[in-house]
Amino acid sequence: MTQEVLESIISVALRAGNFVRHHFECGEFDVSEKKDSHDLVTNIDKESQKIIQEELRYRFPDIPIIGEEDKSVRKKDHAFIIDPIDGTLNFVKKIPFFSVSIGYWENNIPLCGIVYDPLRNDIFYARMNHGAYLNGKRLKLSNKDSNNHRVLASDWGHKPVLYKKNIQVMQRLLINNSFLFRFMGCASLAICYVGAGIVDGYWHYNLSPWDMAAGVLIAQEAGASLTKINGDDFELWGQSVLAIVPDLKIKFIKLLEQQ
């Protein structure tokens, strides 16, 4: 069944992504705020989620759906977990880095996921124990340890209390080695970029399940290490994530413990 689910979520993500891309290019959308001035939502987020929900309910009427734009969210033992636009602020500000993300989980285990970048037409997808792919090409991280030009990525999130933590992390990493940093604005794509070897690690202190549901499986199936920031087992509803190439994991966590 998971192959059927994967094919379906790829199809619906492409449909929603094409809708999102059209409105990004023509600039026709309305913007409002959620809880603070940095957490935005557009009518395109809501319409994209509607496209995804209607199609998935038609194909899989017995599987619950959890979406970012739902009025209330409750944890389910199995569900599609969707982000109709991950990186809404990027979308609004015309920064070309956002995605449509759909993951399918059962009993806290990711079974398949798709992260679609509609501007680059990049399709990241994975099925548990069947590998991760980018546009049909299998992703597999190299075991080769390269210390040159290590790029680590993160995002600030929406809680100012976490800004200081991120600054402290970067200070410790800069003191101990010459890392480069990027702040992405789209967690699902950034986590996929770890699996693709584009960045060497991504951390975040406060993410929602829909930010991670698809990307973590893709990165893990490609060979990345996936944990909470402190190194504990990853938990979809646990907020924090550390996706990193395996040879950097212990060093990164030890530096965090020094805070």
Domain end point (choices 78, 112, 139)? 139
User: Is 145 among the domain residues?
Assistant: no
| Cα 94–chain centre separation | 19
- pLDDT tens-digit map of 207-227: 999 999 999 999 999 999 999
What pLDDT does 143 receive? 65
Task: Please indicate, yes or no, whether residues 15 and 132 belong to a single structural domain of this protein.
Answer: yes
Task: Please indicate, yes or no, whether residues 110 and 28 belong to a single structural domain of this protein.
Answer: yes
Domain end point (choices 139, 163, 179)? 139
Q: Does residue 35 surpass a pLDDT of 70?
A: no
Task: Please indicate, yes or no, whether residues 112 and 194 belong to a single structural domain of this protein.
Answer: no
Tell me how many domains the chain contains. 2
- Domain containing 19 — which CATH number? 3.30.540.10
**From CA 89, how far away is CA 183, in angstroms rounded?**
13
- Domain containing 161 — which CATH number? 3.40.190.80
Range of the domain at 14: 2-139
What pLDDT does 101 receive? 98
Task: Please indicate, yes or no, whether residues 232 and 212 belong to a single structural domain of this protein.
Answer: yes
**From CA 116, how far away is CA 188, in angstroms rounded?**
9
From 128, 132, 111, select the one nearest 192 (Cα to Cα): 132
Average pLDDT across the chain, whole number:
90
Which range scores top for mean pLDDT: 32-46, 122-136, 244-258? 122-136
